[in-house]
Amino acid sequence: MSLAIGVDIGGTKIAGALVRDGEILQRARVETPAEDVGAIVEAVTTVIQDLQGKAGGEDVVGAGIACAGLVDAAGETILFAPNLAWRDEPLKAKVAAQVDLPIRLENDANAAAWGEFRHGAARDHDDMTLITVGTGIGGGIVNDGTLLRGAAGVGAEIGHMRVVRDGLRCGCGNRGCWEQYGSGSALVREARDLIRSGTPHAARLSGACGGDPDALEGADVTKVAEEGDPAAAELIHELGVWIGEGAASLAAILDPAAIVIGGGVSAAGDLLLEPARRAFHRNLTGRGYRPWPEMVMASLGNDAGVIGAASIMLDERPTS
């Protein structure tokens, strides 16, 4: 079977992998020079060339590059990236000029969705929706075996579905976006507010951050909840409800066979998934008279992006 390289550009690291049929054979990684466009290109090139050298003489069909930002429909230009120094950046051409390989750009959530669809939790389905719950909410949609990108390539920005009229201001400029209520950032915000309230109910959360609410992280909330703290468990439960309700709205439009929950907050496992499932079932249109979509945790973890990017390169390469 053919080999491809997958690269996942994040705000702090650029991870790469040599992939065959969803299996990672070799890895490479460098830090992300987030403020320097030219340095990012050089870093991505270094990762690709390193992995080419690890291919043992086998042909590599190309490199798929996943990045957190809006990618045009042609898979050539990063239109905008919120956490990296990219505005209308022709990354494909710049990388292709330095490596002798076909290059394909893809949004990171789309790449992760394709990875889970082809080789992960949704591999037995033709229709699936990935919801990544991290700092914000990202997502990817596969419909009838095809990745949904939209007319301009910037579809599936599900975290910016408005769920509260005149709600909290979002980084996108609008108010009431789903990710302001159903993300890791929302979980941390609510936990910090609980600590600042001075309630004894937040004693264990306060202890987890040494009494400094600003030092509290999402992983701290999960850890305290797993240890049996009712306040932390309640916060994760509420987050799960927001995720489940939003997922029900998506299902009313998309009718997926599987909804896959990924991202850093998914580490909370059933503490998050069970309330999400219950809220989803309570709010699904036509409940009781239609098949229930499966709601499961993602299975590829942090490798979903590189596996998905490599798989897109393999699956969408020209056949002649």
pLDDT number for residue 320: 43
Domains and CATH numbers, the chain: 3-115+303-315 (3.30.420.40), 124-298 (3.30.420.40)
Helix 304-315 and helix 108-119, axial crossing angle in degrees, nearest 10: 80
Q: Identify the three-state secondary structure at position 189.
A: helix
Give the burial class of 65: count Cβ atoms within 10 A of its Cβ; 0-12 exposed, 13-18 middle, 19 or more buried: buried
Q: How far is CA 86 from the centre of its chain?
A: 19
Q: How far is CA 274 from the centre of its chain?
A: 20
- Work out the angle between the directed axes of helices 218-226 and 184-196 (0-180°, nearest 10): 70
pLDDT of residue 4: 97
Tell me which residue of 307, 247, 237 sits closest to 273, measured CA to CA.
237
Of residues 14, 10, 5, 150, the one with CA closest to residue 72: 150
- What pLDDT does 318 receive? 60
Question: What pLDDT, on the 0 to 100 scale, is given for residue 85?
Answer: 73
CA atoms within 13 A on the CB side of 174: 13
**Count of Cβ atoms closer than 10 Å to residue 267 Cβ:** 17
Cα distances (angstroms) measured from residue 210 to each of 176, 187, 206, 216, 234: 32, 18, 6, 9, 21
The pLDDT profile of the chain, 320 residues, written as one tens digit per residue, is 799 999 999 878 999 999 999 999 999 999 988 778 889 999 999 999 999 999 988 999 999 999 988 999 999 999 988 767 788 999 999 999 999 899 999 999 999 999 999 999 999 999 999 999 998 999 999 999 999 999 999 999 999 999 999 999 998 889 999 999 999 999 999 999 999 999 999 999 999 999 999 999 999 999 999 999 999 999 999 999 999 999 999 999 999 999 999 998 988 999 999 999 999 999 999 999 999 999 999 999 999 999 999 999 999 876 54
pTM (two decimals): 0.93
